[in-house]
Structure 1
């Protein structure tokens, strides 16, 4: 491996070849001409080749020197770029940030803030991957996951993004005109339900309720399963059946009468969405910037007045 002194000798050689003068190079490197001569003699001895033709008036690379120069230039430019990039990263964050989240989190949390984020940090690119399943997000190469706080692993650093969430059981008035609305989870039996299926495992998501006597999980009768909550919402709006969806996603439909809500007393709040990531000493500026931006409350409280 190369020692610091050897690297310095190569840089000195490049400066001399560039300036075509020992004095000019010594000035540029801020060392004495005699130290520079000594440095060059040491380099030529080590390489066993003459690198410079010296005359009283000028200095020029030998053939061997020219060959070495051509090999060194791109490498040194690469090193200088790397150093400059690190400095630039601190000033103007740039690079790619990969986030894995459920569709609802993208709709309620990230998208409302996207335009302002893009304006503030034009050099940061976001890769948003919609994934409603519970996967090892970090193990898959994502920088961040966004999930409900109830399922974030213990060893992660997490940043709360929303207040508590609640689920809502909904169907269209057209659907309920033909069947009596259920008064308890048990009465969901026989209802046409639109359910979420984990794509990764194929498992059906049981409908979880909290009653006076504690938690109740119901495996409902599915007429349609989907791994996309938007499809479940659309199915409910079209009168195809009953869906269990995050309250903030269906509020406006309940308000305008296109959906009717049931079993409200059985749907207790649960921990809201959190941004999570593993602890790391040296976090890229783009990641740090994204965390700070998501912490700002402006885009959080408004779409999620839960």
Structure 2
């Protein structure tokens, strides 16, 4: 196969995985028109359609799905071997791709990774902030970050934090208008700041405790967001109750900008863990990043 075909297949794989020319173009740093031209050329040379295009979506055809399922793993194996060979050099090099939510990136990952990049100038890290549950193997990420109880059993998991205490908080201005809830029944009548889950499209049910037993509170409210920072801003503005990590709200509680309620109903979530497939364990770049971000008591 001509070398150009391999490069074009890599472009196809990006489009097929993203199910979008727009997202694939952004990831590859190319224009959508350039991507379309490459895909059309590849389809012409192979003599088959690889993608079904509509006004709203892009999906692989039967031939495209076969290419995605059978060729992509082989290209990943080649990439892994090339990485392993480069690791034999004196300076660790390569790119480590990580997916995590924005708050974790800001408070856990970046403070630990930044010194590593200064020490190893040939090491690159690409961090994607998103809330959906990413299939890191399918989307070619090296590391994912989730709470310990969310990590698949076939992954290698490395603890990043101690358990994560959660709190229900509201601004004094909100509590001045409505009495603070003391029971789950009262909580459900309050204006709560809701998190929409991008993976399912549904809303997050607050995972609380009722007399020590786990319960899910399906709260409602006027404000709904897809990330935690706007939820914090809405709580500070007096828009309602928010369920957030204690580390995120502690300084605001201390300063009197927020008040914690129903503390006995708030659990500590399992600590954050980095996880990755065992087949990527040979990379020195990955090993350096894992060592830098792991939890040190």
TM-score by length of 1: 0.67
Task: Work out the CA distance in 1 between the residues paired with 2:137 and 2:213.
Answer: 34
Q: Please report how far the alpha carbon of residue 157 of structure 1 lies from its aligned counterpart in structure 2 after TM superposition.
A: 0.5
1:228-239 alignment, distance < 5 Å: 228-239=227-238
Task: Work out the CA distance in 2 between the residues paired with 1:296 and 1:148.
Answer: 13
Q: Please report how far the alpha carbon of residue 285 of structure 1 lies from its aligned counterpart in structure 2 after TM superposition.
A: 1.6
Aligned to 1:255: 254
Task: Work out the CA distance in 2 between the residues paired with 1:188 and 1:171.
Answer: 12
Change (3 A) 1:179 1:121: same
Task: Work out the CA distance in 1 between the residues paired with 2:247 and 2:227.
Answer: 16
Partner SS for 2:193 = strand
Aligned to 1:242: 241
Task: Work out the CA distance in 1 between the residues paired with 2:101 and 2:227.
Answer: 9
Task: Work out the CA distance in 1 between the residues paired with 2:178 and 2:218.
Answer: 19
Aligned to 1:196: 195
CA contact (8 A) 2:156 2:276 kept: yes
Task: Work out the CA distance in 1 between the residues paired with 2:105 and 2:82.
Answer: 35
Task: Work out the CA distance in 2 between the residues paired with 1:263 and 1:139.
Answer: 41
Task: Work out the CA distance in 2 between the residues paired with 1:287 and 1:281.
Answer: 8
Aligned-pair Cα RMSD in Å: 2.1
Count of aligned pairs between the two proteins: 217
Task: Work out the CA distance in 2 between the residues paired with 1:281 and 1:118.
Answer: 20
CA contact (8 A) 2:159 2:295 kept: no
Q: Please report how far the alpha carbon of residue 137 of structure 1 lies from its aligned counterpart in structure 2 after TM superposition.
A: 2.5
Aligned to 1:292: 291
Moved more, 151-160 or 129-138: 129-138
Aligned to 1:124: 123
TM-score by length of 2: 0.69
Question: Is there any run of 5+ residues in structure 1 with no aligned partner, and where?
Answer: 1-81, 302-306
CA contact (8 A) 2:84 2:282 kept: no
Task: Work out the CA distance in 1 between the residues paired with 2:83 and 2:157.
Answer: 32
Task: Work out the CA distance in 2 between the residues paired with 1:112 and 1:219.
Answer: 34
CA contact (8 A) 1:138 1:145 kept: no
Aligned to 2:160: 161
Task: Work out the CA distance in 2 between the residues paired with 1:183 and 1:291.
Answer: 42
Task: Work out the CA distance in 2 between the residues paired with 1:226 and 1:278.
Answer: 31
Task: Work out the CA distance in 2 between the residues paired with 1:164 and 1:85.
Answer: 34
Once superposed, which parts of structure 1, at least 4 consecutive aligned residues long, lie more than 6 Å away?
82-85
Change (3 A) 1:96 1:84: closer
Q: Which has the larger radius of gyration?
A: 1
Change (3 A) 1:87 1:252: same
Q: Please report how far the alpha carbon of residue 88 of structure 1 lies from its aligned counterpart in structure 2 after TM superposition.
A: 5.8
